[in-house]
A and B are shown apart, each in its own frame.
Chain A
Amino acid sequence: MSEAAPEILYSERWTIRGGDFDHGGEVAAAVKVILRQFGLPATEIRRLSIANFEAEMNVVMHADEGELLLEVLPDRARITLADRGRGIPDLGLAMQEGWSTATPEMRQRGFGAGLGLPNIRKNSDEFAIESTVGSGTTLRYAVRFAI
């Protein structure tokens, strides 16, 4: 039995540039504004915003470029964030809290507590990560909301 493809009600894409600390966080903010316009529940918006901010800053700090795709479905908001970059050699390690490769400069800006990926997983209802060393990382996560 094949499941019908879930209906995508809305989608929008943003490009995130690696090293662009000046604009870091703006995509997460833009997504938040949109979800609020859609009248989604505050708790879910907050969770997805936390995940988006972490994911966006990961691209800013570690990758060359990334593309964030927001898809709103009838029962969830889904994010796909694919980046071009060096990839993550040991996903198991990266998913551990406190593990970080952040440079001193990043830490000075308040990042690099190493909570990025676990924090994204904690704040989403679906989470998947694929990474190829030398080519990049793709994150897929979603928050579900009651309708």
Chain B
Amino acid sequence: MDPDSHSIRFDPARCIGCVACSQACPTRAIRVRDGLAVLRPELCIDCGACAEACRYDAVLTRTSGAADLQRFRHTVAIPSMTLYGQFGRDVHPAQVLHALTRVGFDSAYDMSWMCEMLAQATDARLTDDRGPWPKISVTCPAIVRLVQIRYPELLPNILPLESARELAAKMLRRRIAAERNLAPTEIGIFFITPCTAIMNSILHPVGLDESHIDGAFGINEIYGPVLKAIKQDGGMDPDARFSPSGLLWAMAGGEIAGMRNANTMAVHGIRDVQFVFDRLEAGKFQSVDFIEAYICPDGCVSGGLTVEGRYTAGRAIQKVARRVGAQPPSIREEQVRTLLREHFFDLEEEIAARPIRPATHDLRQAIAWKREHAGLLDRLPRRDCAACGAPDCTTLAEDVLRGETTLDDCVFLRIDRLEGRVAPEGGN
């Protein structure tokens, strides 16, 4: 797989070759080679944990640029609801939408209403869907990729409904094309994203052939100009209507909070997700209907491309949701039922497994490798110091087996050898 297929890369000018990112990576996708972090693209789930861990700002995230906007006659911004929580408790989301039209987008649309519709669609699907249970939400793209790579047995548990942002873009493109008499391809839809995972899901979608979104800008990239526009202008988008329950999707627990089905769980943070998914694979939690899972600790407000801290942002989102709560409900159940019948919400494609390195299909060969791996691991100190460039001793042994490096990478073994405690190392 091409390293460019991911939305993160490492800046050789800033990377000092420390191992913070490598050790933070939940799928062990990073090695440090010749003093620089290197990505093993087939293992990366674009979660952004490396960017979070890096103390030298050496993890670059790939987003759209100003040139991408030039490709379209009409540009549209759809912000993640997380953006509304970045400017304190007193800024109305309609001000944020208006500000987006002042910083380079021709128009800006809210997607919280689509979240509310999707919550209703999810409820409907859960009542007539078949097992295996529980179903897992596709909202967090890093979760979908984690399942593809680490938990392929759970792929049948993924609820085959598209994410709210893709659905909002799909619907808005139709609407804007009709309203403004434009060809759908003349409209450029850009998502304002809290994380790298969503950026990558737009570049390389899973479960649909091509994303309905044309690009993405990080919240951190547009924060400054938007804040300035809010302060200078402060105008509101007069037509925007927000869904209070949809706005809460910016935080973990928001998705299930808006559902009728209460037999649900919200699981967030990579460690908790792995804890729960390990048990799902062992057949536990089958009495649960639906799991909302986020790789980030508090959901999207803790995304790597946000500016405001997650606690403050979460507090602001709650206030915002209260403020817009007075608006009349805009979502008609009948409309959701019609869209369900048209399969509007459905994923277009089946999600395929991307299992880690099926080293060999021969059982005897696989067992021989396992023994060899155990033999290598026996010789390593198991201190998981990561000085070799792999995040831990187990991973170094795997890399040696794959022929990518040798046990000479281990500093402990090298010291032993210098001090004459072991014979010089020949091959691996």
A interface residues, Cβ below 8 angstroms from B: 9-10, 25, 28-29, 32, 34, 36-40, 42-43, 45-46, 49-50, 52-54, 72, 74, 110, 119, 123, 147
Contacts and interface: CB of A to CB of B under 8 A. Distances in A.
Interface stretch (B170-178, B279-287, B341-349): B279-287
Given A49-B281, A49-B283, A53-B284, A39 B153 contact: no
A29 B370 contact: no
B67 interface: no
Interface string B353-389: 1010011110110110110000000000000000000
A32 B277 CA distance: 13
B134 to A, nearest CB: 14
B282 A52 contact: yes
26 contacts: A9-B363, A9-B364, A9-B367, A10-B367, A25-B278, A28-B282, A32-B282, A34-B370, A38-B363, A38-B367, A39-B358, A39-B360, A39-B361, A39-B363, A39-B366, A42-B153, A46-B153, A46-B283, A49-B281, A49-B283, A50-B282, A50-B283, A53-B283, A110-B284, A119-B283, A147-B363
B152 interface: yes
Contacts of A34: 370
A45 B153 contact: yes
B360 A29 contact: no
Interface residues of B, number: 20
A110 B288 CA distance: 12
Interface in B263-295: 278-279, 281-284
A16 to B, nearest CB: 14
A45 B355 CA distance: 14
A123 B282 CA distance: 11
Interface of B: 152-153, 278-279, 281-284, 353, 355, 358-361, 363-364, 366-367, 369-370
A74 B363 contact: yes
B282 A25 contact: yes
A25 B152 contact: no
B60 to A, nearest CB: 33
Nearest to A45: B153
Contacts of B369: 37
Contacts of B361: 39
Nearest to B152: A42
Nearest to B369: A37
B279 A25 contact: yes
Contacts of A49: 281-283
B397 to A, nearest CB: 12
B370 A37 contact: yes
Given A38-B366, A40-B363, A53-B284, 14 more contacts: A29-B282, A34-B370, A37-B366, A38-B370, A42-B152, A43-B153, A45-B153, A46-B153, A50-B282, A52-B282, A53-B279, A53-B283, A72-B367, A110-B284
